[in-house]
Structure 1
Amino acid sequence: MHMLSILLLPLLIIISYSQPILTTTNVLTQGSSLVVKKGDHLVSPNRLFTAGFHQIGQNAYLFAIWFTELTSDGSRTLVWMANRDLPINGKRSEIFLSKTGNLVLSDAGQQIWASNTKSTSPLQLQLLDSGNLVLNQVKVQTQSYIWQSFNFPTNTLLPNQPFTKNTVLISSRSWTNYSSGFYKFYFDNDNVLSILFKNDVVTSVFWPKPWLIATEAGRSTFNNSRFAFLDSRGKFTSTDNYSFVTSDYGQIVPRRLTLDVDGDLRVYTLNQKKWSVSLQTTSLPCLIHGSCGLNSICTYSREIGRICTCAYGYKAKNRSDLSLGCEPTFNVTQNRENYGFIRYPNMEFYGFDSSYTPGISLETCKNTCLNDTNCKAVQYSFDPGMGVFKCYVKIMLFNGHSLDSVYTTYVKVPKSDVLAFYQKIIAKESELNCSSTIIEVERSYIEKTPNESIKFMLWFSIILGAIEVALFLVIYYTTKQLSSGETQSYVAVGSGFRRFTYDEIVKASRKFREEIGRGGSGIVYKGVLLDNRVVAIKQLNEATQGEAEFLAEIRTIERINHRNLIEMYGYCAEKKHRILVYEYMENGSLAEMLVANRLDWQKILAIAIGVAKGLAYLHEECLEWVLHCDVKPHNILLDLSYSPKVADFGLSKLFERSAVEGSSFSRIRGTRGYMAPEWMFNLPITSKVDVYSYGVVILEMITGKSPLQMQQSSGENSGRDQTLVEWVRDKIRDEGVEEVVDVETCGEYDTKSLKNVLKIALQCAEEDRDARPSMSQVVHMLLHPDFDD
């Protein structure tokens, strides 16, 4: 026996070294780490949860928390991830609790994720029985943790985990890809729990139903504390009055609430190593936005599940991921004569209507689409309440489905695709197998006499004629009433802008509650549309001047499309109301950023280039020349990434290219301090007035000085206000370039780049308009500072 042990000893040593050495501990103390290679773990005292490194690829790991018990198929159920979008490798990677109290996840020495915490007291990292990973003080029994994973959920809530206004759930990209997906569960600005779909093309709330107001959806907007949680018995409650109980309510068993990859919010219960759904928010998967991607149609059956198919004339972008949608197989820039329509009965696509017109024929509806290059399809249906047919022009095919739809959709594709589509249908019908056996059926019948046939045809003709006359009268009077009516809910301006009713504007702006800006032409409010898009709502002054500016903006904006020009979603022209609805810019105006000193040199340079590109497009690339005439920081808006967009075309004027030099204005336009000398001396107005204003704006960004607040100059200029342009020229001549820079505004800057931008700005602000460059030349000089003209 002793001899056998000696013989087996080497074998046991080999086996032990062939298996990973797992280090399991209850806490991680300061100065210690969990290492990927060793497979180190933290385990909760009740052993229900484990925290450690989960392998997701050949050499890719996530630091995560999961249920300790494996499911019947041997897989782990992850409930939290630190680095879901940036996996680490298996070599020299660890999570480390530093002496200063910071929990750091590193990939071969490079920091990937951190808790960003500090403490002078001794800390420890501990996994609690609830599944909450916490940083707390050693030997201090308190619920006030320095950091806890419950405050930063990924796609899952555990029982009794608080869900607040500061937390969100983000779905995973797929069932095997844990990176951030397309769906977001959160409290919206109205304190209502919502689910949002967002990809590179579409942002859309679908739960609760976006066309319902909160009370209609059974929600309340009055409690702004925004708090929800799932208790240990299976009941979910929220401050917006949304609540539910699971099908197994009352049992205290392992549960989780997860926002799944398909956009459905489900509660799962663990029973005998299997997760079963005990509640789900959406029973019809095809109504979940983005379930099949753009240009596709969703069908569902209990036996097969959800099926995504491309609309005819389109093909899948990626056959392994149908959520990416479909793309056209044809050239979308063809002439209208080359297009036809494929009919999809009882088919509906959600939203994105560029126009809605009641009381028109199907042929007129189709022609509206053919005349619109952005139109992808039309939806046509009969409204029994109004007694008319309704036509919706679709500029995007999103969330196609046939669930209880009363619409017939006509998808616009090339005529060759239309022919091929119907040839396939005919071919399928001809493939039906018919038996060659002839079966005789004895049947007696009474032959009609000639007189009876003539009577039948006569009565049939009379009835048919009466129906045609009645239908003509109904359509005629309905169309006449609509054309003479003062307002319509949805009217296209020509390029797809939506016409809002005043009631819709009042609701979107919450009775014009939040003012975000004002100017000479009106006040701007923040609003939220039914599809949850945050917008800027500009209410123009009721004076004649305001109405003229409104019409000018509509005529101008419907012709332009550029990434550095503000996008308009629609307008309202009802009675005395003149309102514009724009995209909302998160960082407000450039004027606000200058006052708050929230810019640096890189942002200033990017803003200068972006504004120049936008103005160059207006001046030189539009179908007609467009002069802005009021370029200033207040009319330059910044999005979340500080990308600039030129706004407020209310003071603009259009010119045909051939008539620029002879242009004239009925009154001076613009803002004092930014206006070109041409306005003062009654000289012809050209695009160079915008170039001058642009130069002043650039100087204001660099110097931090407003041209409206310049102090009186000294010396020979004493007694009158010195302009910003004059001040910069004097400073550079007497003291050098560096003396004009506001370090607080610009921060660290590159001297060579600064000199180039200053040179361009001063050239733009020359008194002689002929000495100023065009905006396209400005763009070129900014992008190619070393280029020698």
Structure 2
Amino acid sequence: MLIHSQYIMHLPFLFLLPLITLYYSQQVAPVSSSSSQSVLTQGSSLLVEKKHHLVSPNGLFTAGFHELGPNAYCFAIWFSEPMSDGSHTLVWMANRDWPVNGKRSRFSLWKNGNLVLTDAGQRIWTTDTQSNSPLQLQLLDSANVTSVYWPSTYLLNWEAGRSSNNISRFAFLDSKGRFQSSDSLTFTTTDYGDALQRRITLDVDGNVRVYSLNQRSWSVTWQTFSTPCLYGICGPNSLCTHGLESGRICTCMHGYKSKNHSDFSFGCEPTFDLSQNRENFGFIKLPSVEFYGFDSIYDINSTFKECSNYCLNDSNCKAFQFSFHVGLGAFTCNVKTLLFNGYYKGQPFTTYLKLPKNDVLSYNQYVANKSSLECSSSIIQLDRTYKKKNSNGSIKFLLWFSIILGAIEAASFVLFYCITREPSGTKTQTYLAIATGFKRFTYAEIVKASHKFREEIGRGGGGIVYKGTLQDNRVVAIKRLHDANQGEAEFLAEMSTIGRINHRNLIETYGYCAEGTHRILVYEYMENGSLAGNLGGNQLEWKNMFEIASGIAKGLAYLHEECLEWVLHCDVKPQNILLDGDYNPKVADFGLSKLFHQDVTGNSLFSRIRGTRGYMAPEWVFNLPITSKVDVYSYGMVVLEMITGRGPTYDQSRDDNERLEQKRLVGWVREKVHVASESLTEAQFIEILNPMISGKYEKGQMYNLLKVALNCVEEDKDARPTMSEVVKMLEDG
């Protein structure tokens, strides 16, 4: 089975046997509630707490959360059968550099086709894939297709037996130990013929090896290089040696010390100052030692004295090599400014290391300056906010003390609960705070932060917004919901929605208050207020207009197509578009939003009309199915208002006036623009534009924005683009 690029992209699989692949299916099976399953369906997740796993059909491979340490997990693929010591062999890991929590972490297949790994709500890893067709995620038990492994870089293609013209680039290893690739590279393992489980691994030392599984133990049956001293494996200023029993050993050169005892790749650093006068330095002889590359001087027919003087006269020189070149029939001098790729190569290589004279006198060639790994220093303890800390003292004493204290507290709680019982929603708010991670403010904190609700900065159908300052001096917007009963429902809907939303063009929420009948939200404060307040105040320039329209579109596209659960805003209007200090837009007020499923179209009727008159799509008025296209229509009306300065109005004396006024605005713009042609004169164009907006404008860009807006306010919802298509049309312009 091959990887098909149209199904899965950017997965960093390299020489792995198991493969997670996405494939199109006509029917999507429901999620299995068991801990192990064969597929992950669209819109479903694997949860770290539930120990959910995907298992390949033949049972050889498992995918799921693998424990790395205390409360640290990675999403990985491993061989299902444990080794003789009980451990499992990992073959791929999604997030090796960022372990996730043992709680509230999940691996999800979103409904838009994206694979996402989250850590307590924070996105850690994603494939950035999208698909409009039904999908399933399945762990297969077949080989993986990968790019070929290229040998030493200094070899030409034909010298290495490779072809750079081969575009198919596939390679595979069969169960009997034969490797084949599209550029004709083949090899067989030392145990060729036996049908075993095998894996090809690019190991930490840079060598590619084949491992065979036999009697629950892995053994190397082929490797690219027989010597483990590959270039750069030990880091700068160090020498690589190896033996059959000792394996690879990294040695700091005399006069140098290790930079990091837990990782030899950091190399070594000098214990002396290289900028001293040349009279303070001498050389020690290192027979058969080669440092490949980084020559500042290459001289043929040089004498030993001339070569040593080159190095002494250069404060950057660390060593030089002086040896007889058989092919040239002369002595060659190589001056080294950096000591990389050090290893024993044999004759005729000899390196002369530059050191202070005191270090030269103390040098003993029979005493190696070896270092040993201290891996404990590389272990990082991951602290989690919900991790329980151990207490000091006697465990038995604490146990009995806790039991007695718990009994007293339980009796007190029952009495207190009966006297001061709060509304049923309070418990829900507590759970909501834990789930969203927002700060829960007391009403007293809100009153203090808002200076007793002194400075009003906005109001709408859901409530009034005040300016406030938190204890950490953050300036915030505090939204106080109107009606307590209705406000609680709106509050819970808004909190459950925004708890799953994070985008640069969507307002950020800091916390909330749910105390008694008070329902309050705390937002980030936007210095330049709402778009509505800026449109008529001669404060915007045309250069800001296009960026504002583009930013709104990106925020709505995220709500419709990129959230784990798609969200309808339902009240897109200039009052709900806020501008920061640089006039970057952020969509606000999700109090009227409603979660919906993208694959549900026929039954997506809302219980009541939502939104603001003048910006509402025809579907609301005619009781038609509500989809994301209602937000597209509202967006189009907002953009038309931005461009023309003429907002939709509503006369309460006649219910039909709303549609009439919208048609008048849209019809007036259509008549001026003539979408079918691009013959709009400068005078006609100026007549359309909002006179309150200053600065120069780019006619082609604004004309494109007009066309997009008129496309969004089509009466037929099927004729309107999606918000992601709007973003693309604006970018392609």
Q: Same fold (TM over 0.5)?
A: no
Higher relative contact order (CA 8 A, sep 6+): 2
Per the normalisation by structure 2, the TM-score is 0.45
Per the normalisation by structure 1, the TM-score is 0.42
